[in-house]
């Protein structure tokens, strides 16, 4: 399946910054051997979880609506700060395949009619329900220019082999709303390890993905 960029995205998000009681080995999820510069950074106590509702174009005429949950680890690669999405759960097949081709490690959730802000998958249980959002565009919940994603695409299709470290070429980013959410303090479980939210916020943003930026030498 070919993907056609640019795609426009509008996303409603609830994100938690979490700290685990001991380091979590996120390479269990990555499914690929990360570059040496990243390997040690993917075992960490610090990570983020985002629950999103997304409306995305897939070509000039069609759009898809889907829900996804991302687990992201802050990393530094060649002197630049990124978020490395170690795993994304998604309920739409097109988003699953598009993400795979772009370098996301995604897992399909066939029945995604679960309660909002809850994910239960084996030894991982995430629950960001509740809380109170501060209705202020200047709450400072998250920076107006978030860290870019660092992605690792590795696959072979026919005679085509890809093994690429890349980011996304994002244009026209707009942060439409940023709110701090208080009162979400319940512990989370990630790969069997307990983690505590240190900050929770909600954002509404829109942007265009026009291509990839290869970082492979």
Structurally, the chain folds into a number of domains equal to 1
Is 1 a domain residue?
no
Q: What angle do CA 45, 46, 49 make, to 5 degrees?
A: 120
Is 139 a domain residue?
yes
Is 97 a domain residue?
yes
Residue pair 167/151 in contact by the 8 Å Cβ criterion: yes
Which CATH number do you get for residue 29? 2.40.400.10
Residue pair 197/18 in contact by the 8 Å Cβ criterion: yes
- Rounded Cα–Cα distance for residues 89 and 67 (Å): 8
Is 31 a domain residue?
yes
Sign of CA dihedral 18, 77, 119, 15: positive
- Rounded Cα–Cα distance for residues 73 and 18 (Å): 10
What pLDDT is recorded for position 198? 96
Is 2 a domain residue?
no
Is 150 a domain residue?
yes
The three-state DSSP-derived secondary structure of 131-191 is CEECCCCCCCCCCCCCCCECEEEEEEECCEEEEEEEEEEEEEEEEEEEEEEECCCCCEEEC
Is 190 a domain residue?
yes
pLDDT by 10s per residue, the chain, length 217: 678 999 999 999 999 999 999 999 999 988 777 888 898 999 999 999 999 999 999 999 999 999 999 999 999 999 999 999 999 999 999 999 999 999 999 999 876 556 789 999 999 999 999 999 987 554 455 555 679 999 999 888 788 888 899 999 999 999 999 999 999 999 999 999 999 999 999 999 999 999 999 997 6
Query: Residue 148: which domain range?
Result: 7-214
Is 99 a domain residue?
yes
């Amino acid at each position: 399946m070919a993907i056609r960029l640019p795609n426009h995205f509008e996303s409603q998000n609830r994100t938690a910054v979490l700290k685990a009681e001991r380091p979590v080995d996120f390479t269990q999820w990555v499914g690929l051997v990360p570059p040496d510069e990243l390997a040690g950074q993917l075992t960490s106590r610090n990570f983020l979880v985002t629950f999103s509702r997304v409306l995305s174009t897939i070509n000039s005429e069609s759009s898809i609506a889907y829900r996804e949950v991302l687990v992201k680890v802050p990393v530094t690669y060649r002197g630049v700060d990124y978020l490395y999405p170690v795993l994304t759960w998604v309920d739409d097949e097109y988003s699953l395949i598009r993400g795979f081709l772009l370098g996301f490690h995604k897992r399909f959730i066939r029945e995604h009619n679960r309660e909002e802000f809850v994910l239960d998958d084996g030894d991982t249980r995430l629950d960001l329900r509740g809380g109170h959002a501060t209705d202020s565009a200047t709450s400072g919940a998250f920076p107006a220019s978030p860290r870019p994603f660092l992605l690792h695409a590795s696959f072979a299709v026919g005679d085509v082999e890809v093994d690429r470290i890349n980011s996304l070429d994002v244009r026209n980013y707009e942060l439409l709303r940023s709110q701090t959410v208080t009162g979400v303090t319940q512990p989370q479980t990630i790969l069997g390890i307990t983690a505590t939210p240190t900050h929770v916020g909600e954002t509404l943003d829109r942007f265009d993905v026009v291509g990839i930026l290869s970082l492979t030498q």
